[in-house]
Amino acid sequence: MEIQLLAGSLSSMIFAMGTLNMVYKAWRTKDMQSYSLTMLILNNIGNLVYWIYVMSLPLGPIHVLHGFYTVTTLLMLVWWFMYNHRPQTTRHITQTVQRIMDSQTMRRVTDTMEVQGV
């Protein structure tokens, strides 16, 4: 096996594993608020245009990797429309309330320290 083919295959697997983590988290939490609709649309358009270049190359790891990116970015776009406008889950509301309470507690501690001259 040529070193270039081995390097291409290995890097494709590494890139795919990094992306799978993001896709799994989005699927598990259904929380798409951190993803911009503009970014997802541009990524999908870019993938379609990039296929023109990829199809001109000899069959190799780039086809698998770009196919994977095309599927995952399209999936993320579909999920953005499915999940982004859902009412917030109880878990998300609980986490938000906890963050607010933690910040208020820190403010009280800080204010107390200032009054005592610490």
Q: Is the pLDDT of residue 71 over 60?
A: yes
Q: Are residues 63 and 112 in the same domain?
A: no
- How far is residue 39's CA from residue 3's CA, in Å, rounded to a whole number? 34
- Measured from the Cβ of residue 65, the count of other Cβ atoms closer than 10 Å reads 20
Of the pLDDT bands very low, low, confident and very high (cuts 50, 70, 90), residue 4 is confident
Burial of 2-13, coded b for 16+ CB within 10 Å and e otherwise, reads eeeeeebeeebe
Range of the domain at 109: 88-118
Residues 107 and 63 grouped into a single domain: no
- Does residue 80 share a domain with residue 22? yes
Using pLDDT thresholds of 50, 70 and 90, give the confidence band for residue 98.
confident
Same domain, 92 and 43: no
The rounded mean pLDDT for the chain is 82
- Strand (E) or helix (H) holding 95: helix 90-116
Residues 77 and 103 in one domain: no
- For residues 80 and 103, state if they share a domain: no
Whether 43 and 76 map to the same domain: the answer is yes
pLDDT bucket at 8, cuts 50 / 70 / 90: confident
Q: 83, 32 in Cβ contact below 8 A?
A: yes
Decide which of 18 and 1 is more confident: 18
> Is pLDDT at 51 greater than 90 in this prediction?
yes
Q: Are residues 12 and 53 in the same domain?
A: yes
